[in-house]
Amino acid sequence: MTRDGGRVRAREAFTPRRLRRSAWRRPGSGTVTLATPAVLIGALLVGAPLLLVIAYSFLSRASGGVGVDTPFTFDAWRRLVFEEDFQGELVFAPQYLQALWRSVWMAALTTFIAVVVAVPTAVWIATRTPRVRALLLLAVTIPFWTNTLIRTYAWMIMLNDQGVVNNTLRMLGLPPTALYPSVFATFIGLVYVFVPFMILPVYTSAMKFDYRLAEAAYDLGATRGRVVRRILLPSLRPGILAGSILVFIPCLGAFVQPTLLGGSKVDLIGTIIQRQFRDSMNWPFGAAISVALLCVTMMALLVFALGAKRLAAQGQRASLV
């Protein structure tokens, strides 16, 4: 082979088409160096802050309140479960564990409501014509264009005593209801903010659904309800699972909605953490609760991973895209 021919081939090797076919595209074929950017970003933006938070949780309060100080201590962790009574003895104080449990429960309920809202919506969108589908998907994502905080303020305005909801009730001659601040308002805020994260993955699953399966089920004697329960819903499981991760995990640590819409009535783990860093100025304790929340989150992820594994065994793939 001539030198010229060799150069031409080398140039061709980097056309997109060649690159796509080249050995690099095969999983596990790249060199370790190729992973450097990803490893760096991960270490800098995930690993380091995480280590920092864990380290903070074992340190003492700084004298001014901002930051942490030596000596090294387990005080913050002790405070998570115990408090000192008047005699200076440690007694079991479950208030923070209860808040943690309340957060898990609230996140679970929000996820459930999101599923109930998202499944019919997603299936409906998936069955429209491509044009309408694009418009509806845009409608689902439009809220992302505005800051979550501002959208939550909007709910405060709508739900307060002089808001649209109560004004409408008054116009209809019904007694106005104290909707805000309340647990109910918090739920509305959470579901409202997180439901698009459920709709999009369920929509992806619904798009993959083979509607001929529904026809086959009808043909075999299934009624509409049974087609939905026995054929459609099982096919949407990968989407529901992916959506549940996207809703449940951020919900677990949410603090904007409970603070703004729940007021002092809803004390969740997110609001407590935020309070430790701002109002109470107890960074080590805030860090300790954060790490505790992280553990709960990891357990939740583990449950989801097991679910995904079971689905994969049935030939269905759950992924976030």
Partner 1 sequence: MMTTLTRDPLSIRGLTKEFAAPEGATFRALDGIDLDIVPGEFFVMLGPSGCGKTTLLRAIAGLEQPTAGEIWLGETRIDGLPPYRRRVNTVFQSYALFPHLTVRQNVAFGLEMEGRSPRSPDVRARVDEMLDLVRLTSVANRKPGQLSGGQQQRVALARSLAKQPEVLLLDEPLSALDLKLRRSMQTELKRIQVESGVTFVFVTHDQEEAMSMGDRIAVFDQGKIAQLGEPRDLYERPASRFVAAFIGEMNFVDAVAGPGGIRTSGGVSLPADALSQDTPPVGEHLLLGVRPEHFRVAADGAFAGRLVACEFLGADVRLCVQVGPDERVWARVSASYDGPTRPGSSISLAPQPGRVKVVPK
User: Residues in the site for partner 1, rule: CB under 8 A?
Assistant: 210, 212-213, 215-223, 226, 230-231, 234-235, 314-316
Nearer to partner 1, 184 or 218 (CB): 218
Q: How far is the CB of 217 from partner 1 (least distance, A)?
A: 7
Q: How far is the CB of 214 from partner 1 (least distance, A)?
A: 9
Q: How far is the CB of 223 from partner 1 (least distance, A)?
A: 6
Q: Which of 316, 306, 303 is nearest to 108 (CA)?
A: 303
Nearer to partner 1, 44 or 306 (CB): 306
Nearer to partner 1, 9 or 310 (CB): 310
Beta bridge partners of residue 82, listed in sequence order: 92
CA distance 202 to 113: 14
Beta bridge partners of residue 90, listed in sequence order: 84
Nearer to partner 1, 188 or 232 (CB): 232
Nearer to partner 1, 71 or 221 (CB): 221
Kindly report the CA angle at 175 between 174 and 178, in degrees rounded to 5?
130
Q: How far is the CB of 131 from partner 1 (least distance, A)?
A: 14
Q: Which of 264, 284, 299 is nearest to 65 (CA)?
A: 284
- The answer to whether 74 and 282 have CB atoms below 8 angstroms apart is no
Q: How far is the CB of 311 from partner 1 (least distance, A)?
A: 9
